[in-house]
Amino acid sequence: MVENEFALQMQDITKRFPGVLANDRISLDCKKGEVMGLLGENGAGKTTLMNVLYGLHQPDGGKILIDGKEVQITSPSAAIHYGIGMVHQHFKLVDTLTALENIVLGMPTKKAFLDLAPARERLMQLSDEYGLHVDPDTEIWRLPVGQQQWVEILKSLYRDAKILVLDEPTAVLAPAESDQLCQAIHRLTEEGRSIIFISHKLREVMEITDRVTIIRDGKYIGTIQTKEATQLKLAQMMVGRPVSIVRQPRPVIEKKEPILVMKDVNANDDRGVQALKNFNLTVNAGEIVGVAGVDGNGQRELSECISGLRKLTSGSITVKGKQVTDVVADPSFIGFIPEDRQKTGLVMDFSVAENLIIKDYYKEPYAKKNILHHPVIKKHAKELIEKYNIKTPSGDVKVRNLSGGNQQKVIIARELDAEPVLDVASQPTRGLDMGAVANVHDILLKERNRGAAILFISAELQEVMALSDRIIVLFRGEVMGVLDGDKADASTIGQMMLGQSPEVAI
């Protein structure tokens, strides 16, 4: 008998949620030793399809074949039994447990107590084999997000997954980590394992995948060989029209009132290591200052200091002349788009409408004498859903049920609609599709043109260059240099990102 070349075939999968047809007869297959890309805009139905595969959702129609045989995947444990591993778009690790404890969590054990020694050995062996190094004894919350991802992958490999689903794995990775991941993927496919790779970064999809399946609005659009594709073609199939990220012309704003002023700021990271060193920065009204840098060079601490989430060890931060701590809760002063949208940006079990008023829910017009005024809250939600193009059947839906990109839009709508004098946007386009990225750029540019001061932190050099009036490059918590956005070139910034001082700084 000839061995089946397909590790996985999903045929005509349909999945409905109240008010949404998330998957409308979608088919996807993956050969042994192949990387299959899965592409589609935010809300297209990618995660839903993978949740069906992993037994988290029961499909309303269609079938799944593993090694050519039809199977019923009724739960994640059934999925694991069939050799399916999944690294979720939003990690599902237990923050307070160590890497090793997370990996063995849920594994059957024959003994009355948990003997971690053999598990540790196996984990170290897997880490070495795939070049994904983690400290087994550090609690998850202390690990950088890249290593949390390795823990998720190692967890699946520990269970010997034959088909590994990676849902936007590189959205949170620094470039060097993405390279490491690529190498690990290469190893895995050499061993005959199959990978389903979801990403909004087309360059990576072109590099890593063998074939790509494109879906749009819950529907199957097509599958193509990667070597016959171009980024432009993929984008077009995905969005239905051509899109690209370019620097747009912008009016000159004459009046340069300083809004955000940071003076000699020093701050530590979660582990007590100095993360910002004598940091000085002024952002003026009507200006976008982009912070370029490899993730993990102080970006997170920078935005947390401004938002009052992190204490300075010394120095000062003012907004329009006032201490930042005095105005941080005032939506007309600071709009804040945090890096981790699920942990600090949203309350996942609240509705879209509730999340949209979370800063002002106790004030008029949303509440009177401590009683919420629901018709007003509903109307407000309806307006913002339209204005910011949030894809949801209504404002009553829990934010948890929105796609990742649409969750981000909820935060942007809430934070920017009050027209604050300062916008702090930390990785605001992470995980967004190209159309949505262009949309966020348009919004930030409009904010600038209305006179807001904008601090824009992003690990994507291309978008920092497209959007910024001035660019500062952050390396190990220090400003390596400041460049004019109109004149900056990628190779100079790239060198500065690696810690080399510029010859021409402005």
Ligand X SMILES: Nc1ncnc2c1ncn2[C@@H]1O[C@H](COP(=O)(O)OP(=O)(O)OP(=O)(O)O)[C@@H](O)[C@H]1O
Binding mask of the shown chain, residues 372 to 391, with x at each position contacting ligand X by CB under 6 A:
-------------------x
Q: Residues in contact with ligand X, total (CB under 6 A)?
A: 19
Q: 75-104: which residues touch ligand X (CB under 6 A)? A: 89
CA distance 60 to 14: 5
> Per the structure block, which two tokens stand in for 319?
């907004």
Contacts of 14 (CB under 8 A, 6+ apart): 21, 23, 24, 25, 26, 59, 60, 61, 62
Nearest partner of 132 among 189, 198, 177, 100, judged by Cα: 177
361 binds, among Mg ion, ligand X, none (CB under 5 to 8 A by kind): none
Rg (CA), the chain: 24
Residues 89-128 that bind Mg ion (CB under 5 A): 89
What region, left, alpha or beta, does residue 213 occupy, with left being phi > 0 and alpha being psi -120 to 50 degrees?
beta
Of 127 and 403, the one with the shorter C-beta distance to ligand X is 403
Encoded one letter per residue, x for contact with Mg ion by CB under 5 A and - for no contact, window 353-392 reads ----------------------------------------
Q: Which residue stretch of 63-71, 82-90, 201-209, 359-367 sits at the interface with Mg ion (rule: CB under 5 A)?
A: 82-90
CA–CA distance from 417 to each of 380, 410, 413 (Å)?
11, 11, 6
If one asks whether residue 44 binds ligand X (CB under 6 A), the answer comes out as: yes
In the complex, what is the shortest distance from the CB of residue 253 to ligand X, in angstroms, rounded to a whole number?
A: 33
Query: Is 48 near ligand X (CB under 6 A)?
Result: yes
Three-state DSSP at 311 gives coil
Q: Containing H/E element for 455?
A: strand 453-457
Candidates 9, 23, 47, 199: give the one binding Mg ion (CB under 5 A).
47
Interface map 396-425 toward Mg ion (x if CB under 5 A): --------x---------------------
C-alpha distances (whole Å) from 271 to each of 165, 403, 445, 491 are 32, 32, 36, 32
d(CA 213, CA 36): 7
Q: Which does 263 bind (CB under 5 to 8 A by kind): ligand X, Mg ion, none?
A: none
Query: What is the rounded distance in angstroms from the CA atom of residue 2 to the CA atom of residue 108?
Result: 34
59 binds ligand X (CB under 6 A): no
Contact map string, positions 402 to 441, toward ligand X, x by CB under 6 A: xxxx------------------------------------
The string over 281-306, giving b where at least 16 C-beta atoms fall within 10 Å of a residue's C-beta and e elsewhere, is bebbbbbbbbbbbbbbbbbbbbbbbb
342 binds ligand X (CB under 6 A): no
The residues, any chain, with a CB within 8 Å of residue 463's CB and separated by 6 or more, are 245, 429, 437, 441
Nearer to ligand X, 48 or 127 (CB): 48
Stretch that binds ligand X, among 40-48, 133-141, 310-318, 455-463 (CB under 6 A): 40-48
Which residue number, 404 or 420, has a Cβ lying nearer to Mg ion? Answer: 404
Residue 214 CB, nearest approach to ligand X (Å): 11
Query: Are the C-beta atoms of 467 and 428 separated by less than 8 Å?
Result: no
- Is 395 an interacting residue with respect to ligand X (CB under 6 A)? no
Q: Which is nearer to ligand X, 104 or 411 (CB)?
A: 411
Q: Which does 48 bind (CB under 5 to 8 A by kind): Mg ion, ligand X, none?
A: ligand X
- Let me know: does 193 contact 164? Beta carbons within 8 Å: yes
Task: Give the one residue of 4, 16, 17, 268 binding ligand X; rule: CB under 6 A.
Answer: 17
| Positions that interact with ligand X (CB under 6 A) | 17, 20, 22, 40, 42-48, 89, 391-392, 401-405
